[in-house]
Copies of this chain bind each other. A is one copy, B any other.
Amino acid sequence: MVNGLMNPESTLRMIVAYVGTPFSGWQIQPNGDTIQERLETALARLLRQSTHVTGAGRTDAGVHARGQVAHFEVPRAQVVEDLRRALNSLLPKEIRVEKLTRARPGFHARNDATGKHYRYLLLAARKASPFMAPFVARMSGGPLELARMREAGRQLLGEHDFAAFCGAGSAVRSTCRRLTRLEIVRRGDTIIFDMEGNGFLRHQIRNMVGTLVEVGQGKRAPLSMTALLRTRDRQQAGATAPASGLCLMQVHYGSRAEGRS
């Protein structure tokens, strides 16, 4: 404890909320304003050194988050609440660090995640409330029968190869994932899809929503999902639902990785 060398690095874990509308998604890219880059730029300024921020999920352009989780290393003991306030004052109004805590050494926001909860808000009216407009999406094609969509959804629950719902440009070793929750409820003129699983492929949720909408509109049979999964063919599934309806609600961790050391 004579100098900083006794404790050269410390891992911090943040929960971040953002309105995705103005951003090109989470992940840094050459031409685009991204949430990751905003966070790294603010941290570099505060910590006076370049800092890499790793998020649990790489949300797409226009997708929102209430509970994205990320980790990064800080060079020495920081007063985390001071750092959180300073970060929030540098970040634009569309991004807020909700929580900043010390994690156990080695905590990794993406690799340690055991599950994620996403919510999709689908508008069941011609026009959204002006107050909700940035957070809901509309799909054309007529009214939806929720009972049909729920029946189709039940076939997607459990461990499956979700290749048929995987967007192009994804480089994953396996397209198998476990879907543990798929609930569809109507609240006013909004249909809420809650989906949880141990992980999701690129565009998987938006492709599942788009396909379930076709079921709800009577364009697909509710019992066609199992056969669709078996095709492993993205061309067989429905359209990709718009990004604006999607929100990363929460990332789950096993108790060991919860990370308040």
Chain A positions near chain B (C-beta within 8 angstroms): 17-19, 64, 66, 85, 88-89, 93-96, 126-131, 133, 135
Q: Is B130 touching A135 in the complex (CB atoms < 8 A)?
A: no
Closest CB in chain B relative to A198 CB, distance in Å: 27
Complex copy number for this chain: 2
Q: Which residue of B64, B93, B127 is within 8 Å of A133 (Cβ)?
A: B93
26 contacts between A and B (CB under 8 A): A17-B129, A17-B130, A17-B131, A18-B130, A19-B130, A19-B131, A19-B133, A64-B131, A66-B131, A85-B126, A88-B126, A88-B127, A89-B126, A89-B127, A93-B127, A93-B128, A93-B130, A93-B133, A94-B130, A94-B133, A95-B130, A96-B127, A96-B128, A96-B129, A96-B130, A131-B135
Closest CB in chain B relative to A219 CB, distance in Å: 24
Top 3 nearest A-B pairs (CB, nearest first) are A19-B130, A93-B133, A88-B127
Closest CB in chain B relative to A102 CB, distance in Å: 21
Q: Which residues of B contact A18 (CB under 8 A)?
A: 130
Closest CB in chain B relative to A40 CB, distance in Å: 18
Q: Which residues of B contact A66 (CB under 8 A)?
A: 131
Q: Which residues of B contact A89 (CB under 8 A)?
A: 126-127
By beta carbon, the residue of chain B nearest A93 is B133
By beta carbon, the residue of chain B nearest A94 is B130
Q: Which residues of B contact A133 (CB under 8 A)?
A: 19, 93-94
Question: CA of A93 to CA of B138 in the docked complex: distance in angstroms?
Answer: 13
